[in-house]
Chain A
């Protein structure tokens, strides 16, 4: 029987707010619960959602009342979260604190406090940051602070891993790459509607779905679903659309999403009189994304930076041929037969789209197979299993040597110098050593923060003794046959 853990996912970002991090946390938590772990989520209060809530599958969500400053990121008050966090952790008997998103101050605080309380911590980074601008420098410093004393870090792509390793000066071995996933059932292609019924599934299991033939003059629809921000490459899109439509007569665009750049798009449409060939849908809800996607043949993703790009996986799952810019982690996400890559240049984007249209017209692309392929590539169960391995590694359930992949012979000397990966010591002095290396001034400041945090912890132990805190009863845990699951997913 594999060990099970009590895990607290901490992030500022959670439902009811929509978004990628939010659904990642939810899906991962759900799958971890399916694997017999206990998962709670700690986030800040949203409007009309304060207090303790249960989601339908028994996922418990603590909406801690906090001040929200910007785009639902809470105000960074380093220590004020500690008493309530300690209370939650003790009453839920948490072993592992798992923080998400580097812009969430709540997550950073929680990791700091959790280390003070002697818990294992994991951090998942969902985004990429540069090194040049002032905001990034500040964020990176804070990230370095938090991650100086974290047990393991999870990144959603290899590019993201490189970035995080550089930003927080981490040992690459304590950073795992575990991609996002999609719920493939929610992104079924249009021509495969009957998959829910068992007979249909069976028949499709034997024969691949019939190929979708496109004639040379059939209308090809290009779908774009993204928030219309600069970072999402809306400028590129605005510049490319007239040229694409000019070069390819039987094509049209469907653009969903909203943002400050939508005005540019509308201006472009009016200037080039493309109203009948470009359809602007405005904001769509995540549930409706699939219905928009299946209206098209090609998904165009002109983003300028992207850690993972879940949406292109969703598009491929819907059976769309994907044209995307080759930035960030995007090149890692999909196999080359599903995508056409372009440089983030207008010319190249136009050319790549042209290539995709030509390939579709020549019926060279078996888009009808994409769904099944994506389904085997990405699943949340797989993500949960891999995350579970991280938990096992940091809590010592699997040996250090196995987890970090080095010879046990020189393990002792190695871990002595390494100090940063592996099962980390909770001793205050060891933690201070780790924080001290963060910088000449920052190191001292961080040490001061950690000492204050520790003093607060001692005070809380006196003032709110552990015996006075009620222990929560657990939701009935699911049990699972690990070996079967592992074998099915084909993972190590």
Chain B
């Protein structure tokens, strides 16, 4: 399967060209012309439903129709008659010399409720930023959710295993830590590789990417061919993710616009925030909007880093990293890992007796809700904002860690508590970062990881559900099969459903919307500070 970014990549240059005069909605007549043509040209697949199918209707391309179709139900029936009537009135008024002007200071020779056919709602834009979905990219994007859900399931399975004393806690934490260590090594290797490539970039590109790096993160591997690495390809992976339907899929339709190839950093949150962040301009003016998102992410990341304890190699100054510096970073990472390890060891007895006075039922319910919060508020956006900015949704992570804490407090022995807590940190704190980076690196790793997780989760659930005495591997295999089936069905079905929902998309823009100010000099200030 090709990376999902292929389609978007091809659309970028033309979009970029056309979107430059965009920022003042409704001022330029040409920019407000019906958007059908522009969108049509980008459609690659004529067989799938696309948003514009919903509003390309038989009647004239003038915008008038449809805006009151939801009104009293009589809108569509009365439409032709109304048009005819207005023609009549305009004919009867044709002897008037003065044309109707959309001005307030002129004394018009028309009544106040006169509605001019030519100018009324001329600046209305409908679905100006719609981006049609395609099926396979959508399915590909949904793997992120599948990954996360699967890792949560694996965590729960491990807890159940420990709780029922089927699995030794030491083996779980041992394998978990071993996997974490492997992941870290891999990460380290990747980062070193990327540095080498980054050093190879020429001076101008580097200067540009330095700024971009301050704003968005490190330059991308693919960026070597372009003068402004942040503009085009660097955001490919972002765009492929940001139009992904999060839990609020129907409301996220606002996100889809042709400028999505610019980074919609918070695209997953909801449509509102992302559209407000959209600034269809070149990278620098975009800094105003993207900056605060970047900083907020950084602030969100800070506690997570400290709690995770594993310093990510190549922090903010990794560009200047020398080999010794890299070694120092690695040393500090190991140091903080040991610190976390011993802290957990010391806290485990306290954790064990934390909820002794609470009944198990409330603990199950509470952890269920906390894990649900974790799943729903997880940061699924694929934006890779940089190695030094661990993109973590703090609410989600905190909920998961709290869930693991309360679950761990049900366990009878200190060793079990310690194992589960450590494992939860690995699963909820570090693993998402690794997953994200793996996806950023290579689509193939991502798919492999997904398959692995689905199989693991399915197998684990199968073994847990199965009879204890019977051969566990049979149940495990069955579980894997069922897990694969369910995830395939869910991914395909949800994607198909979302595409089906696109025809209800009706987004309206016009001169009444608050203008988005374009402020340039703020960049200078930020540079100064």
**Interfacial residues, chain A to chain B (CB-CB below 8 A):** 128-134, 148, 152, 154, 157-160, 162-163, 165-166, 169-179, 231, 233, 235-236, 239, 242-243, 271, 302, 304-305, 307-308, 325-329, 332-335, 343-347, 377-378, 386, 389-390, 403-407, 410, 413-414, 417-420, 433-434, 436-439, 490-492
Contacts and interface: CB of A to CB of B under 8 A. Distances in A.
Given A132-B254, A302-B517, A491-B107, 19 more contacts: A128-B512, A130-B512, A131-B509, A158-B102, A158-B104, A169-B68, A235-B517, A236-B517, A239-B521, A327-B511, A335-B103, A344-B23, A346-B519, A405-B111, A405-B114, A418-B74, A419-B72, A433-B72, A437-B74
Interface in B5-29: 23-24, 27
A414 B120 contact: no
8 contacts: A130-B514, A233-B517, A302-B517, A327-B515, A328-B511, A344-B516, A346-B521, A433-B72
Interface stretch (B81-89, B214-222, B234-242, B359-367): B81-89
A173 B113 contact: yes
B517 A332 contact: no
B522 A326 contact: no
B170 interface: no
B517 A304 contact: yes
Contact of B120 (A130, A172, A239): A172
Given A233-B517, A335-B105, A133 B272 contact: yes
A163 B105 contact: no
B104 A236 contact: no
Of B105, B254, B272, the most chain A CB neighbours within 10 A belong to B105
Nearest to A413: B81
Of B509, B511, B517, the most chain A CB neighbours within 10 A belong to B517
B63 to A, nearest CB: 10
Given A172-B115, A305-B515, A177 B74 contact: no
B81 A417 contact: yes
Interface of B: 23-24, 27, 67-68, 70-75, 77-78, 81, 85, 88-89, 92, 102-105, 107, 109, 111-115, 119-121, 123-124, 254, 271-272, 275, 507-522, 525
Nearest to A127: B512
Contacts of A305: 512-515
A239 B124 CA distance: 30
Nearest to A382: B107
Given A172-B115, A178-B112, A304 B511 contact: no
Given A162-B121, A304-B515, A344-B515, A332 B102 contact: yes
A490 B107 contact: yes
Nearest to B251: A134
Nearest to B28: A343
Contacts of B520: 239, 346-347
B85 A407 contact: yes
B308 to A, nearest CB: 34
B24 A344 contact: yes
A242 B68 contact: no
A264 to B, nearest CB: 10
B512 A163 contact: yes
A162 B510 contact: yes
Given A133-B272, A345-B23, A414 B515 contact: no
B70 A166 contact: no
A235 B519 contact: yes
B107 A173 contact: no
B55 to A, nearest CB: 14
B515 A325 contact: yes
Of A134, A169, A172, A304, the most chain B CB neighbours within 10 A belong to A172
A158 B105 CA distance: 12
A235 B249 CA distance: 33
B24 A343 contact: yes
B85 A343 contact: no
A56 B114 CA distance: 37
Contacts of A130: 512-514
B121 A346 contact: no
A168 to B, nearest CB: 8
Contacts of B521: 239, 242-243, 346
B72 to A, nearest CB: 3
A224 to B, nearest CB: 15
A406 B89 contact: yes
Contacts of A346: 517-521
Contacts of A307: 512
A414 B124 CA distance: 27
B407 to A, nearest CB: 35
A353 to B, nearest CB: 14
Nearest to B114: A405
B347 to A, nearest CB: 41
The list of the 6 closest CB pairs from A to B, nearest first, reads A169-B71, A437-B72, A176-B112, A344-B515, A128-B512, A172-B115
A405 B109 CA distance: 13
Contacts of A491: 107
B522 A159 contact: no
Contacts of A329: 104, 511
A242 B525 CA distance: 12
Given A328-B512, A344-B24, A406-B85, A175 B113 contact: yes
A134 B73 contact: no
A396 B70 CA distance: 28
Given A129-B512, A239-B522, A490-B107, A169 B70 contact: yes
B113 A176 contact: yes
A271 B524 CA distance: 12
A119 to B, nearest CB: 20
A437 B81 contact: no
A244 to B, nearest CB: 11
B222 to A, nearest CB: 32
Nearest to A420: B72
